[in-house]
Structure 1
Amino acid sequence: MYRKKFIPPLLKRPPTAPATQNTDSEPPQKKIKLESQSSSQKSADSDSGRSSQASNGVRRVLPVSRITAGPGSRFNPPTIIRKPLVPVANPPAAAEKEAPKPTTGDDGGRHYFNVLWRKFQARKHKTWDGDGVLAIVNGNATLQDINGRDIGSGRVSKVPVEGDVISLGGKEVEIDSALPTSDFMAGKPFLKSKGKQTDTEPTISPAEFYAKSTFKPPLLSGTTVTKTNTQKPMARFDPNAEGALVMKRPDISSSKNKTIVDVVVDPILSRHLRPHQREGVAFLYEAVMGLRPYEGRGAILADEMGLGKTLQTIALLWTLLKQNPIHNQSPVVKKAMIVCPVTLINNWRREFKKWLGNERIHVFVADGKSNVRDFTHGPVYNVMIVGYERLRNIQDKLKHCQIDIIIADEGHRLKTAENKSAQAIRSLATPRRVVLSGTPLQNDLREFFVMVDFVNPGILENYSTFKKQFENPIVRSQQPEASKSDKELGNARKASLTELTNKFVLRRTAKILAKYLPPKTDVVLFCRPTKQQLELYQAILNTTVAKRQMGSMDTALQLITLLKKVCNSTSLLKPKGKEDDETKLSNSILEEAKVAGSALIASNSSGKLKVLEKLLVTLKKTTKEKVVLVSNYTSTLDILEKMLNSKGFHHLRLDGKTPANKRQDLVDKFNHVNSDVAFAFLLSSKSGGAGLNLIGASRLFLFDSDWNPATDLQAMARVHRDGQKSHVYIYRMITTGCIDEKIYQRQITKQGLADSVMDQKAGGSNFTSAELKDLFRLDTETVCNTHDLLGCECGEIGELPGEDIEGQEEEQEDEPIQMTGWTKASVVDMDKQEEAYRKATSKARQRMKALLEFSHIDPEKIPESVFRDSSPKQPGDGEEEENDDDGEGEEEPLPIIEDEILQTVLDETPKAISFIFTKNSI
């Protein structure tokens, strides 16, 4: 049992007491206990002999009197003669041991204490609400919390000591320790919780210690429990745990007097990340934290579609919103903004809910009904999702809020410096910017420069310098007619640009998904135009209006649009009620061609449409698969919808007229119902060609092509995504010999430039500038103009064009073949001419590497024996295998076209498809 605290009596100093005392005097004698003394007398003597302590630290002792007995009897009571009190000085150590000094206050009546406080509690096991500071000045006590806020005040009758519990301002306060006046005046107790600990092992606060303890020890001098130092600077999550994703630490030299802790991605997210996604999160973190070797804090995540850019971004934001590599500092990011196309807003919201739930993070969606002030001025929302169009309207309101990071999804939309959405983001002056784009380089290097300058301003200087030093040499080296010196300069500049941009651009292709996704087959179908299409196409080209349009690229676009309609369906040229420039041009051309209102327009004639209809009917009869039909034009979707209705095929449709709040519901419905409820999904590539997961379908048909290859690539990636279980077939439909094929050729050129810069592939322009300018020529004799331009001698029966020629270099630049004028046959060196042609073919094949990955098939040249299903017979079929003399059986030829649906269509309508490119991947 612990003894009770000793409180000395406040005795008055006797007037005879000297100011100083000789400490060498004889100590007082013990009082003799007398058996005959009465109990009352014993009590009085005991009280009289009690020592007392004066304010000067001197103790008085009552000495024992001399005892004498009376002469008559031995039992006479003794006579006690008392001596005066003798002042005795206590040793300083003994005085301090018995009663510590109550405070370290100054002589002006000021006293300060570190305390624990809590509101009054009626429960048995009480806990403390927090630490505080108690200041007593001339009897007026003020209680403050660790933030310096007054939480109680009152009067105290005496100065408390360590261990006392007093009531003040409706709160219970326990004195923990005395606080020096100098520390209080310097504000040190109020900085302790906010400042950075300089000790290697900071002490745990009393409130935390008692809150975690089940037993509260007394605070007496002899029984004080030593406080253990258990709180060390540590990461939010265990960096040594299995599967932990630990971010790179900042340089300790740049963090003087700072404690560095590990930043670990929340295990609730990291356990779902694939290896390439873990790499992506680490890359983005290093970029936005300035830990990579370049000037700036922006990054471009240029992964191809389906690699999980959304999940990687959510993992990055959640880490920055909750952690900081500097111990005891607030998180790196407090407010984040995601800018995306309006069609993807609900998709982002669903992804946040899927991975983090509603209880961990609150996401603000800036639609037309929301108040932006809730995000800018309130502490509830940390992340805002806003569309590009909406951002331009609210940019002034966002300037009053400090946004720490901006994510631009489908960032290739910011492809011009004059883009209003890009200007709105720049006006927010946020240094951390991340662009997400599966196709960062779409048309030319100028768009790539704008995107790079957006995330890291000034890193490539200005555009004029970039164009002269990088763009022009690289583009020139990609041309087929480029000289050896042009190629050397272009390759050097391309390598330099790649080395610089690789520091903040991360590019991965879909090949890394081979072990996660089912196989995919890409098929390019060259469909023969109908007789009505050829007549209408030629009649348009023969008009004087059309010939005038061909002279200028500005006016040629209207003519190109008109010819694209002819390729899709002749009925698209029917006159419409609206009067715009395009309609007026169309009407004037049709009137001159004398086809307006004729049967050519009235009929719904289209070679592509007939092939598509046959494929869909075969699919519906023989399988339970679902399909996605994609077009760039809503008028074409109308024709496709009429075709589906005529066949009784149930379908869903998403285009620009579909409300934003219903788009995701349409996608979910299509993915979960069977083909009897929704066999087809009609999709506008401009409205829903990005971000949607249509994994309910296993086949996608791209009915028409766009000049921008990124638009088509985005649309074709809608079905081959996470969650897909079936073999995927992607069909690109092209009208042979028409503007469709010219657009496809132009896409190959642009894609070759993008692959060369982004993926470091050896490539180039597959066609000369003169060939690309020949857009309006109608070729009625070819089965595939693209294959003719390649100069490929593959045999067109499905075999790969030839061996890989990558890495072949010419020792010297080939001299052009001189064939001017008439020359005698006797003086012509035929061996030299053949060698020159061989090298020219080799150079062409080097430029056409992307198309060499496809098998080239002319249906008319396919032998009947290999076109049919020729899978090996199973045992028991009634026919035994015939072995040759060596004992080896003859191998059955594999089918050239593995797609049984396409084989069936080719068998029934062999003339409908003129040529096929096919490639199996993943």
Structure 2
Amino acid sequence: MYRKKFIPPLLKKPPTTDITNSEPPQKKIKLEPQSSSQKSADSDGGRSSQGSTGVRRVLPGSRITAGPGSRFNPPTIIRKPLIPVANPPAATEKEGPKPATDNSEGRYYFNVLWRKFQARKHKTWDGDGVLAIVNGNATLQDVNGRDIGTGRVSKIPAEGDIISLGGKEAEIDSVLAKSDFMAGKPFLKSKGKQLDTESTISPAEFYAKSTFKPPLLSGTTVTKINPQKPAARFDPNAEGALVMKRPDISSKNKTIVDVVVDPIISRHLRPHQREGVAFLYETVMGMRPYEGRGAILADEMGLGKTLQTIALLWTLLKQNPIHNQGPVVKKAMIVCPVSLVNNWRREFKKWLGNERIHVFVADAKSNVRDFTHGPVYNVMIVGYERLRSIQDKLKHCQVDIIIADEGHRLKTAENKSAQAIRSLATPRRVVLSGTPLQNDLREFFVMADFVNPGILENYSTFKKQFENPIVKSQQPEASKADKDLGNARKASLTDLMNKFVLRRTAKILTKYLPPKTDVVLFCRPTKQQLELYQAIINTTIAKRQMGSMDTALQLITLLKKVCNSTSLLKPKGKQDDETKLSNSILEEAKVAGSALVSGNSSGKLKVLEKLLVTLKETTQEKVVLVSNYTSTLDILEKMLNSKGFHHLRLDGKTPANKRQDLVDKFNRVNSDVAFAFLLSSKSGGAGLNLIGASRLFLFDSDWNPATDLQAMARVHRDGQKSHVYIYRMITTGCIDEKIYQRQITKQGLADSVMDQKAGGSNFTSAELKDLFRLDTETTCNTHDLLGCECGEIGELPGEDIEEEEEEEKDEPIQMTGWTRASVVDMDKQEEAYRKATSKARQRMKALLEFSHINPDKIPKSGTHDPSPGQSPRGEEDDNEEDVEEEPIPIVEDEILKTVLDENPKAISFIFTKNSL
């Protein structure tokens, strides 16, 4: 098939035209044929051009002439001269006021207000910023100099315009002089001298004029200083200024300035709180002689650990001891129980307000990205459970310091919350805990290693060198050598601990809080309780449970229910292991479905009911009722309803966002609206301020003394105006009393290590294992173990007996069983008993501070036996010159005295102590 040869098309550039010519474009170029004789180069000076096709191109606007000697006259092209045309003026638009700045280089600067994009109707601004426009490229920066948005602008904005950049909106506030921008004045905390009157004044400088009162709270504005001269943020020489310790830095390139706590907070700090802030600052800044930057603030409840922490964070977020460096902390995180999240938020608002700091609450509805990827929020408050679910998201953000409130929750190395915090690799960690040592020294090791990893080596070394010798020296049967070794190790551990642990007791609040009376009421069990208790422990199933601690816990729970109320043993719909065991034991004891279970018999409940009725009838006081079990709270709630007493309730089922509202309502209303507050110690026993009540009843005890101590501290706090009474209710001779004795043992160890008190294990191992024995003859088994000879009439026990020096190991009392009376050495037995009780008494620091009262020995109100030298009316006998004064009334609590007068047999024994 015939095919034509392919010839590629010519690629020719378009003719160059004058883009400034305002004439319309010319028509298409005309083409004329050219003869072969004219294919040579033309001599017309380049006015025509010829292609390979033999066609001459005629330029537009040219004149064509015919050449001689040709049949076809070839054209001669003559180009017209170019006409100079000036550029037309640009289209003018209505413009706003031009920036008073040097725009010869296309640079413009503005003070702006910026915010993230908001879809709501009433929008708010997130902060101040600076907008720089260079050749149409706009950059938005916040006051810290960080770029938060970029983009292109088509025109220069005027004052009042709103533009969008990188997901942010910025409103032009005023024009910023180029010289001020280049000097960095918008990003300085102190602006220095004011600009000349001819230059533009920024809003911050305008507000700084003495003729205009700034609409800001005190503490927000900063005194103007010379930016060239290093100076503190606040005046360290001012009256009452709290100045932090200076770091020891000898580098020539670093200038040290004073760090002064903001007066907005420091003026509210009490002396012990000022000391606490200084201590925390030195520890987290690495100024103390140990490896690490962690601390434990172990103040007792009510000393203001929250306020001290806020003062520390606010100082670190705004200041640095090294001049011209950013703040020490940019992001801080507070981890606490979920019931305290709103309490922390309210405390920040109370002391700093919403204008100074933005606090992010990481609840289920919030987006953690708002905290990790933005400069708006500096502090995040999160619950322990929520932290575990968001720890992966927090790894993308550098958290500079972590505060663990109620940090005793991190007492085990396997704790998931502790592992989540460790995964963030934050060097500065602070633990807040009123009860840092609760059960044993291992928990203290875990907490110390958490705040300062490696400070106590590993646990195996710590246990061998510290824990075992200290615990052994606290036992009553310890030898003198054991005591010496244990005391030496305890002193060494205490010396190291004091470098990063600060512990103060509530005694320092004497000047600030009203007095408090602690009362331990030993209530006699009812006949039904004794029969049911005895029937349970006599069953074969119960005896098998006593052999192992794992299985004994279920039996202990069952017996605790008997102590609280027999109605708690009613069969329930659910069939878990505990319920099955309870049903099996009751079935063997032949009491299931009987009147013992169907009734609501409880010695403690009857005493509590009588106390509440007397309070309601004779006073306007309010009360807090605390229990470890929601089922017990149900019993207490039914009792309140039967009496018509209005109440509020907070337990594990109460939504977290409503808990603080309940607390506020109870503190605000009178007793006619809310007489009682039912509180679960596991859900709300820590951190809450229930100062609306002046009396608290702890209905049952927990194995962990810290749980009860935290719960009992809810009413004796800042803001309390009335005398506070704390009642701990215990069933005499039952498991309740054994648990209380175990608490004393643990608390003795904590006091010995944390408070440097002489204390220890108060009872022998055999006594502590005797948990299930029912003592029906005693008035108070705890007082019997003390071997106290106080007289049981309210007088404080005598001074401690001096410890006898013994060269040999003390031998415990040997009980040989049945022995003929003729061969028993009674003097030896009495001496052995005296030594045993003497050593127990020496370590009973906690109980020896109480007055011991036996109600059977209390005279009736209005009557008493006259002292020698007195008449029955209390008048002095004229025959005696020196007459001793009548003792102070045994029971000072009028409410308790009324109950004892009406039913003296309900309470078998009383421990009472007045403090503060």
**Shorter chain as normaliser: what TM range?**
0.7 to 0.9
2:26 paired residue number: 29
Q: Distance in 1 between matches of 2:233 and 2:444?
A: 38
Cα shift at 1:544:
1.0
Look up the SS of the partner of 2:173 in the other structure.
strand
Q: CA, structure 1 residues 532+259, in 2 after alignment: closer, same or farther (shift >3 Å)?
A: same
Q: Select between 807-816 and 717-726 the one with higher mean Cα deviation.
A: 807-816
Q: Distance in 1 between matches of 2:197 and 2:6?
A: 39
| Partner deviation per Cα, 1:445-474 (whole Å, 9 max, x = no partner) | 111100000000000001001000000001
Q: Distance in 2 between matches of 1:164 and 1:425?
A: 45
Look up the SS of the partner of 1:701 in the other structure.
strand
Q: Distance in 2 between matches of 1:221 and 1:754?
A: 43
Q: CA, structure 1 residues 651+591, in 2 after alignment: closer, same or farther (shift >3 Å)?
A: same
* Contact 1:8–1:53 under 8 Å retained in 2: no
Q: Distance in 1 between matches of 2:312 and 2:356?
A: 15
The sequence identity of aligned pairs, in percent, is: 91
Cα shift at 1:676:
1.1
Q: CA, structure 1 residues 225+89, in 2 after alignment: closer, same or farther (shift >3 Å)?
A: farther
- Of the three residues 872, 895, 919, the one matched with 2:913 is 919
Q: Distance in 1 between matches of 2:588 and 2:509?
A: 54
Look up the SS of the partner of 1:745 in the other structure.
helix
| Partner deviation per Cα, 1:818-847 (whole Å, 9 max, x = no partner) | 898999999999877766654444322111
Q: Distance in 2 between matches of 1:214 and 1:74?
A: 99
Q: Distance in 1 between matches of 2:813 and 2:181?
A: 94
Q: Select between 549-558 and 154-163 the one with higher mean Cα deviation.
A: 154-163
Q: CA, structure 1 residues 530+873, in 2 after alignment: closer, same or farther (shift >3 Å)?
A: same
| Partner deviation per Cα, 1:638-690 (whole Å, 9 max, x = no partner) | 00011111111111111111111111111111111111111111100001100
Q: Distance in 2 between matches of 1:611 and 1:472?
A: 43
Look up the SS of the partner of 2:862 in the other structure.
helix
Q: CA, structure 1 residues 438+159, in 2 after alignment: closer, same or farther (shift >3 Å)?
A: closer
Q: Distance in 2 between matches of 1:656 and 1:639?
A: 16
Q: CA, structure 1 residues 626+477, in 2 after alignment: closer, same or farther (shift >3 Å)?
A: same
1:211 paired residue number: 208
Cα shift at 1:256:
3.5
- Of the three residues 734, 750, 757, the one matched with 2:746 is 750
- Of the three residues 331, 334, 344, the one matched with 1:335 is 331
Look up the SS of the partner of 1:88 in the other structure.
coil
Q: CA, structure 1 residues 13+437, in 2 after alignment: closer, same or farther (shift >3 Å)?
A: closer
Q: CA, structure 1 residues 45+268, in 2 after alignment: closer, same or farther (shift >3 Å)?
A: farther
Q: CA, structure 1 residues 870+277, in 2 after alignment: closer, same or farther (shift >3 Å)?
A: farther
Cα shift at 1:893:
3.2
Q: CA, structure 1 residues 416+867, in 2 after alignment: closer, same or farther (shift >3 Å)?
A: farther
Q: Select between 612-621 and 431-440 the one with higher mean Cα deviation.
A: 612-621
Look up the SS of the partner of 1:564 in the other structure.
helix
Q: Distance in 2 between matches of 1:233 and 1:363?
A: 30
Q: Select between 790-799 and 72-81 the one with higher mean Cα deviation.
A: 72-81
* Contact 1:478–1:764 under 8 Å retained in 2: yes
Q: CA, structure 1 residues 315+59, in 2 after alignment: closer, same or farther (shift >3 Å)?
A: farther
Q: CA, structure 1 residues 328+443, in 2 after alignment: closer, same or farther (shift >3 Å)?
A: same
How many aligned positions are there?
Answer: 915
Structure 2: where are the runs of 5+ without partners? none
Cα shift at 1:799:
1.1
Q: Distance in 1 between matches of 2:206 and 2:851?
A: 73
* Contact 1:300–1:504 under 8 Å retained in 2: yes
Q: CA, structure 1 residues 681+53, in 2 after alignment: closer, same or farther (shift >3 Å)?
A: farther
Cα shift at 1:44:
65
Q: CA, structure 1 residues 795+385, in 2 after alignment: closer, same or farther (shift >3 Å)?
A: same
Structure 1: where are the runs of 5+ without partners? none
Q: CA, structure 1 residues 125+470, in 2 after alignment: closer, same or farther (shift >3 Å)?
A: closer
Aligned 1:625-644 pairs, distance under 5 A: 625-644=621-640
Q: Distance in 1 between matches of 2:253 and 2:290?
A: 25
Cα shift at 1:424:
0.2
| Partner deviation per Cα, 1:402-454 (whole Å, 9 max, x = no partner) | 00000000000001000000000000000000000000000111111000000
* Contact 1:103–1:161 under 8 Å retained in 2: no
Q: Distance in 2 between matches of 1:573 and 1:691?
A: 32
Look up the SS of the partner of 1:798 in the other structure.
coil
* Contact 1:9–1:53 under 8 Å retained in 2: no
Q: Distance in 1 between matches of 2:712 and 2:369?
A: 39
Look up the SS of the partner of 1:742 in the other structure.
helix
| Partner deviation per Cα, 1:11-70 (whole Å, 9 max, x = no partner) | 999999xxx999999999999999999999999999999999999999999999999999
* Contact 1:615–1:905 under 8 Å retained in 2: yes
Q: CA, structure 1 residues 188+813, in 2 after alignment: closer, same or farther (shift >3 Å)?
A: same
Look up the SS of the partner of 1:496 in the other structure.
helix
Q: Distance in 2 between matches of 1:582 and 1:121?
A: 54
Cα shift at 1:803:
1.5
1:906 paired residue number: 900
* Contact 1:60–1:85 under 8 Å retained in 2: no
1:419 aligned onto 2:415: yes
Q: CA, structure 1 residues 394+788, in 2 after alignment: closer, same or farther (shift >3 Å)?
A: same
Q: Distance in 1 between matches of 2:687 and 2:429?
A: 20
Q: CA, structure 1 residues 769+261, in 2 after alignment: closer, same or farther (shift >3 Å)?
A: same
* Contact 2:208–2:214 under 8 Å retained in 1: no
Q: CA, structure 1 residues 814+145, in 2 after alignment: closer, same or farther (shift >3 Å)?
A: closer
Q: Select between 710-719 and 846-855 the one with higher mean Cα deviation.
A: 846-855
Q: Distance in 2 between matches of 1:101 and 1:232?
A: 36
Cα shift at 1:389:
0.2
* Contact 2:191–2:205 under 8 Å retained in 1: no
Q: Distance in 2 between matches of 1:220 and 1:813?
A: 69
- Of the three residues 172, 187, 190, the one matched with 2:187 is 190
Q: Distance in 2 between matches of 1:802 and 1:2?
A: 134
* Contact 1:28–1:61 under 8 Å retained in 2: no
Q: Select between 401-410 and 125-134 the one with higher mean Cα deviation.
A: 125-134
Q: CA, structure 1 residues 93+585, in 2 after alignment: closer, same or farther (shift >3 Å)?
A: closer
Look up the SS of the partner of 2:115 in the other structure.
strand
Q: CA, structure 1 residues 718+35, in 2 after alignment: closer, same or farther (shift >3 Å)?
A: same
| Partner deviation per Cα, 1:120-139 (whole Å, 9 max, x = no partner) | 99999999999999999999
| Partner deviation per Cα, 1:757-815 (whole Å, 9 max, x = no partner) | 00000001000011000001111111111111111111111111102457886687656
Q: Distance in 1 between matches of 2:863 and 2:52?
A: 117
Q: CA, structure 1 residues 575+319, in 2 after alignment: closer, same or farther (shift >3 Å)?
A: same
| Partner deviation per Cα, 1:160-197 (whole Å, 9 max, x = no partner) | 99999999999999999999999999999999999999
Look up the SS of the partner of 1:880 in the other structure.
coil
Q: Select between 67-76 and 170-179 the one with higher mean Cα deviation.
A: 67-76
Q: Distance in 2 between matches of 1:24 and 1:217?
A: 60
Q: Distance in 2 between matches of 1:835 and 1:499?
A: 38
1:168 aligned onto 2:165: yes
Q: CA, structure 1 residues 64+201, in 2 after alignment: closer, same or farther (shift >3 Å)?
A: same
Q: Distance in 2 between matches of 1:281 and 1:189?
A: 32
1:221 paired residue number: 218
Cα shift at 1:892:
3.7
Cα shift at 1:82:
56
| Partner deviation per Cα, 1:705-763 (whole Å, 9 max, x = no partner) | 00000000000000000111111110000000000000000000000000000000000
Q: Distance in 2 between matches of 1:258 and 1:836?
A: 70
Q: CA, structure 1 residues 336+110, in 2 after alignment: closer, same or farther (shift >3 Å)?
A: closer
* Contact 1:538–1:778 under 8 Å retained in 2: yes
Q: CA, structure 1 residues 797+449, in 2 after alignment: closer, same or farther (shift >3 Å)?
A: same
Q: Select between 853-862 and 6-15 the one with higher mean Cα deviation.
A: 6-15
Q: Select between 134-143 and 530-539 the one with higher mean Cα deviation.
A: 134-143
TM-score, normalising length from structure 1? 0.75
Q: Select between 155-164 and 136-145 the one with higher mean Cα deviation.
A: 155-164
- RMSD across aligned positions (CA): 16.6
- Of the three residues 103, 107, 112, the one matched with 1:106 is 103
- Of the three residues 41, 50, 55, the one matched with 2:52 is 55
* Contact 2:856–2:904 under 8 Å retained in 1: yes
Q: Distance in 2 between matches of 1:726 and 1:568?
A: 29
Q: Distance in 2 between matches of 1:2 and 1:335?
A: 83
- Of the three residues 814, 837, 842, the one matched with 2:838 is 842
Aligned 1:321-400 pairs, distance under 5 A: 321-400=317-396
* Contact 2:126–2:376 under 8 Å retained in 1: no
2:138 paired residue number: 141
Q: CA, structure 1 residues 70+911, in 2 after alignment: closer, same or farther (shift >3 Å)?
A: closer
Q: Select between 117-126 and 130-139 the one with higher mean Cα deviation.
A: 117-126
Q: CA, structure 1 residues 566+197, in 2 after alignment: closer, same or farther (shift >3 Å)?
A: farther
Q: Select between 574-583 and 158-167 the one with higher mean Cα deviation.
A: 158-167
1:4 paired residue number: 4
Look up the SS of the partner of 2:742 in the other structure.
helix
* Contact 1:869–1:895 under 8 Å retained in 2: no
Q: Distance in 2 between matches of 1:410 and 1:449?
A: 16
